[in-house]
Structure 1
Amino acid sequence: MLSAASCSWRWRSWEIWLILMVFVFYAGDPAPAINEAHYLAKAKNFWQPQWCAGDLFVTSGKAHTTFYWVFGWLTNFFSLATTAWIGRLVGWSLLAVGLQRFSWSVVPVRYASLLAAFIWLAGIEHGNLAGEWVVGGIEAKVPAYGFVLLALERMVRGHWKIVWPLLGAASAFHVLVGGWSVLCGGLVWLTAGKSRGSLVSQILPLAIGGGIALFGLLPAIWLTEGTSEADAIAAARTYVYQRIPHHLLPADFAPSWYLRHGLLIAMTMIVFAIQKTDQRIRAVGWFTVGAVLLAGIGLLLGLLPQSHPDLAAKWLRFYWFRLTDAAVPLALALATVRLLAVPSRWGRGLGWALAGLLGLIAVLLVARHSLQKAEAGLPASCDLHSQGHFPDTSVAERQAVCRAWIDACDWIRDNTDPDAVFLTPRHQQTFKWYANRAEVVNYKDVPQDVPNLKEWQSRFDRVFPPELGRIRITIQYSELQKFRKQYGADYMVVDRRIAPYSMPLQKVYPTALESNEYYAVYRLP
């Protein structure tokens, strides 16, 4: 085993660079990735309030103010796509620094952190319970997880006075990622023995961390300020039962999700069990236990909806399963690469063989994921379900639809008033990104403050009424005129796959000199 001193800053920088390249290989598809159009559109409006000023979502309550402050100013000088790539490189670099430092603090073996990166990525993708990811498009949780990794490195080394401010920084970016990590860090502190120091010695660092966390906590609290209890519960019900049950509601999780995450937990326990532990790897284990316990609480809350749906919605909206999806594969990654340095109870050879096998599987899974993304060459938020495709849609058709969508948005950006408001297809999430125009409502862009979430629900139910299958917009003149009057809507973008016939409205795109097989734009009456 190498000493910490033997890992020079040059070597650390080299490993960090390699980890960053793995992240680019894994998640470097064209912008916007999933959620980038969501976060960066709001960040742009935060710095340029006149941009899409008629859009319900971007003008709604600002839940992630720290993220908007840190990254949104870039939109004053760069396009959204360039801003996304700058943000990705900053966020992924922070993750790479945190992972390299954390890995080296537990397993001071060269290139162990690189192998840990592969195992972590594969474990998150194929072993998650509720759809969490860490390395992807830039959004608030990416830098938050970077600060969590830096805090974990300080934690396992016993430098607790630095841990709490770092977790405060994580909370400032994403209050739930940081907040849940604080609770799990508290469990590690309680089990750390004499090395943890006294509680009194933690008061000032905790106060500093808490002060930093207010930059994330206060905006979250302000989202519900001045709202009635009934409206707050109604908003929670929309959030949990309609909008993102796949992240929040245990009854909505497929049985295979429970199986894969259970197997991941079992595999992690086995890898821990076959090696002699020390204080540092035990700290990793206790942090992971805390994350799994939080998920267990979430599962218990998941029993409430049938008998107490309002109470369940109120509590399930806090993403109880988020941290276990990231922490368990991280623990597996570090425990696995530790077999390269510490003989297993089965002997050094078997330990190396297990580490090599898991590492090889992880590399192959990451490579397959990356090559599939490269084959399509499409932004994740303009592909598959986010563009209304069936799972078996060919790559060629997905590419054609995306090109047609961007062509339609480009025409809208170049040929309509910047203040125009549009009715858009329900499933898309990149209209503002490409067209730079406001829209009445879409399924993805859900406000997080209670009044605007209530308005989103009202708009969504009117624009995409259930009797039309939730994907069609009414073409009744009376309704369209009401949309113009109530929402300021000027145009409607029609997905020709859903409505292949011509509308009894004035079509403005495609013109006689242009063609677009998949999308058309109509002026509202």
Structure 2
Amino acid sequence: MTSESTATKTSPPAILLILLIAGSFAVDSFLRFPIPGTNEPHYLCKAKHYWNPQWCEGDFFLESSNAHRFFYQVIGFFTQWLTLTQTVVIARLTGCLLLAIGWFRLLRVLTPGTWSPLIAAALYLGIAAFGNFSGEWIVGGIESKVFAYGFLFLALANACEQHWNRAGVYLGLTICWHPIVGVWGLLCALFALLCYAVVQRKSLNRTSLGLTTSQAIPAIGWLILCSLPGLIPALSLLQGGTPREEFSANFIQVFYRLKHHLDPMDFDTFSYLLYGLLLVVWFILRRKESSDFQFRFFQYFIAGTLGLACVGLLLGAGPRPATDMPYYAFRMSLLKFYPFRLFDSLLPLAVTVTVINGIYQRCFAPTENAAGSQQGSSRLAVVTVSLLSLALFGGVFYSAWAKPPVHKMTAQQRSDWLDACHWIEENTPESALFLTPIHQSDFKWYAQRPEYVTYKDCPQDAPGIVEWNRRLKYLRKWGQNYYNEGFDDEGLQVLKRETGITHLLVKRLGPFKTIEPVYQNPTYKIYQLP
């Protein structure tokens, strides 16, 4: 790296670019994912309960194992003084800033031109707005993986520059924030180094890789040390149940609860077509990139993510039901580790890098007429940024139109839902335990009361997953048993005795013969069990 590029990183324009990139990420986040986002009640309520166990005490999910303990420790700290919404705003802005710093560092290594990182951010967000492969995303609501990807970008930037100690620190922090993202990132980085070493050994130009023993040992040490706060809780989940519970939990995760992330047979055709097109574009354009170490390392890293995705496809491909697949127990035990995650999130980044480099090579390369070339390049830069910005916002608006908010309610239903939750917060004891509509996701966020079980809030340890499934099945069976009888006193007494539920928040469940709602609005009714 030249001294000029190094100086640029610490100059005011670099700071301005980072803030512009962070602003782009933040605008995309707040516009496409209104608070609370898809997973924010899941993460933020857990974080608040981690610091204040009396809050929503008795909630099954909140009292389950803490898979992302480091996130709960850091972010949950702020929930003691701020509301959940205020905490999310601060966490989102912080996450976007960290992503922008990592993005700027990585793109400054991989692409030429002062404005390339900002152009790349616009192009990436435009691609992301049109879809993904396995439900993975980087810019959205706040959760542990947002911070993990920020540190992963920093790790990749330093690895491309062969600063191995710093790369080890950032990879350790990636694992700390999100073990799956971090461990897969580490394996892909090792794969990239191995590929580069093999290619260099076979080529006539046997240049040194630059990773000596004296550099490798401290890097590994930093990696292990920084990863422990997040890695230890995650590893403990792998040993938390009996073989029967592990088997059941794997099946529930892979082929039921998280099949949209883990089962390739459940991914829609558009996702395969979109990522097939991106892959073709990347394969074609990457051949024109330089053979310098940083480009080759990043290409091999992306190839590693592709290899993981191919393994996932082989593991998941087969007849359905899944029990008809040969060795399905072994295959689902590997699928639960999200083999598609990095490929899903980073292939659009790889395409973005190759597109930017292609644009620069064709349009921004110096010519004999330096003055005219500079003026033409400046005009072209303005046009390019404008077009990519339009593509970004067009993608955002298309996504918002094609994929409405996750609660899938009309404006009136949403208003009634918030009204019912606020009434519960103000008029029920904190010890109340609620039965709520199974597929809602933000009851605790607004009502501040514990729930018996909900589909969204699934634990991540084997015993917890099995118990979560048992509770859902119990409620389904209870509803079927007493539906024809009209949910009489006997049915309500059985429900309260076997679950501890004290209140019901229902939309269609009923009618109840012997109790009247303590509150109702046009959409929802609230009952207190006798």
Normalised-by-shorter TM-score class? 0.7 to 0.9
2:417 — aligned with what?
405
Aligned residue in 2 for 1:210: 224
- 2:204 match: none
CA distance in 2 between counterparts of 1:212 and 1:475 reads 55
Q: Mean Cα displacement is larger for which, 103-112 or 426-435?
A: 103-112
Matching residue's letter, 2:299: G
Q: Tell me, yes or no, if the aligned pair for 1:336 and 1:355 is still in contact at 8 Å.
A: no
Please give the alpha-carbon distance, in whole angstroms, between the structure 1 residues aligned to 2:289 and 2:487.
Answer: 66
- The structure 2 residue matched to 1:153, chosen from 140, 148, 157, is 157
Identity of paired residues, percent? 34
Secondary structure of the residue that 1:196 maps to in structure 2? coil
Q: For residue 342 of structure 1, what is the amino acid of its counterpart? A: Q
After TM superposition, give the deviation of residue 277 of structure 1 in Å.
Answer: 4.2
Equivalent residue number for residue 513 of structure 1: none
**Inter-CA distance 401–369: structure 2 relative to 1 (3 Å threshold):** farther
Q: Confirm or deny: 8 A CA contact 1:168 1:212 kept in the other structure.
A: yes
- Residue identity matched to 1:524: L
Match of 1:393 in 2: none
1:311 correspondence with 2:330: yes
Q: Partner of 2:410: helix, strand, or coil?
A: helix
Q: Secondary structure, in 3 states, of the residue corresponding to 1:522?
A: strand
Using the TM superposition, give the Cα deviation of residue 344 of structure 1 relative to its aligned residue in structure 2, in angstroms: 8.5
**Deviation digits for residues 53-102 of structure 1 (CA, Å, limit 9, x no counterpart):** 11000110000011011111001000001011111111111001110111
For 1:505 and 1:6, the matched residues in 2 are separated by 71
Q: Does the 8 Å CA contact 2:422/2:446 hold for their aligned counterparts?
A: yes
Q: Tell me whether 15-24 or 200-209 shows the greater mean CA deviation.
A: 200-209
CA contact (8 A) 1:276 1:345 kept: no
In structure 1, the partner of 2:17 is 15
Question: CA shift at 1:357, angstroms?
Answer: 9.8
Corresponding residue for residue 252 of structure 1? 266
CA distance in 1, matches of 2:382, 2:316: 38
**How big is the shift at 1:366?**
2.8
> Which residue of 80, 84, 97 corresponds with 1:80?
84
Show structure 2 runs of 5+ residues with no match. 198-207, 368-372
Distance 1:19 1:64 in 2: 27
Is 1:363–2:389 an aligned residue pair?
yes
Query: Would you say the 8 A contact 1:160–1:196 is kept in 2?
Result: no
The answer to whether the Cα contact below 8 Å between 1:106 and 1:281 also exists between their aligned partners in 2 is yes
Correspondence 1:143 to 2:147: yes
Counterpart residue type for residue 205 of structure 1: A
Aligned residue for 2:298?
Answer: 284
Q: Deviations over 1:181-212 (max 9, x none)?
A: 00111122224442332245312211221222
8 Å CA contact 1:484, 1:524 repeated in 2? yes
1:181 to 161, 182, 185: 185
Matching residue's letter, 2:229: F
Please give the residue correspondences for 1:61-460 in structure 2 after superposition, counting only pairs within 5 Å: 61-126=65-130, 128-193=132-197, 194-199=208-213, 201-303=215-317, 305=322, 306-343=325-362, 363-371=389-397, 384=405, 386-387=406-407, 389=408, 398-460=410-472
Rounded to whole Å, the distance in 2 between the matches of 1:414 and 1:373 is: 36
Counterpart of 2:518?
Answer: 508
TM-score, length-scaled by structure 1: 0.88
Q: CA deviation at 1:362?
A: 5.1
Partner of 1:394: none
- 23, 40, 43: which one pairs with 1:39? 43
**For the structure 1 residues 464 and 504, does the alpha-carbon distance in structure 2 shift closer, same or farther, using more than 3 Å as the test?**
same
> How many residues were matched structurally?
502
Alpha-carbon separation, structure 2, partners of 1:366 and 1:150: 24
Contact 1:224 1:449 in 2 (8 A): yes
Deviation at 1:340, TM superposition (A): 4.2
Once the two structures are superposed, residues 446-484 of structure 1 have per-residue CA deviations (whole angstroms, 9 ceiling, x without a partner) of 011122211111101111349869x99x94543432332
Query: Cα 1:320–1:75, aligned 2, differ >3 Å: closer, same or farther?
Result: same
What displacement does 1:353 show? Answer: 12
The answer to whether the Cα contact below 8 Å between 1:275 and 1:344 also exists between their aligned partners in 2 is no
Give the direction of change, closer, same or farther, for the CA distance of 1:307–1:477 in structure 2 (3 Å limit).
Answer: farther
Q: Distance in 2 between matches of 1:352 and 1:443?
A: 53
SS in 1 for 2:506: strand
- Counterpart Cα distance in 2 of 1:479 and 1:368: 52
Does the C-alpha gap of structure 1 residues 209 and 407 become closer, same or farther in structure 2, counting only changes over 3 Å? same
Shift of residue 361, structure 1, vs aligned partner:
6.7
List per-residue Cα deviations over 1:411-441 (Å, max 9, x = no partner).
0000000111100001100000000000111
Decide whether the 8 Å contact of 1:88 with 1:138 is kept in 2: yes
2:202 alignment counterpart: none
Distance 1:429 1:252, change over 3 A: same
Q: Distance in 2 between matches of 1:270 and 1:58?
A: 48
| SS of structure 1 residue aligned to 2:525 | strand
Distance 2:302 2:511 in 1: 55
Query: Secondary structure at 1:50's aligned position in 2?
Result: coil
* Alignment-mate amino acid for residue 225 of structure 2: G
Task: Classify 1:423/1:467 alpha carbon distance in 2 versus 1 (closer, same or farther; 3 Å).
Answer: closer
SS of 1:60's equivalent in the other structure is coil
- AA aligned to 2:524 is Y
How far did residue 444 of structure 1 move?
A: 0.4
Structure 2 CA distance, aligned partners of 1:354 and 1:476? 73
Q: 1 CA distance for matches of 2:117 and 2:191?
A: 25
Equivalent pair of 2:285/2:354 in contact (CA under 8 Å)? yes
Q: 1:463 to 1:355 in 2, by over 3 A?
A: farther
Give the equivalent residue in structure 2 for 1:521. Answer: 526
Q: In structure 1, list runs of 5 or more residues that go unmatched.
A: 390-396, 511-515
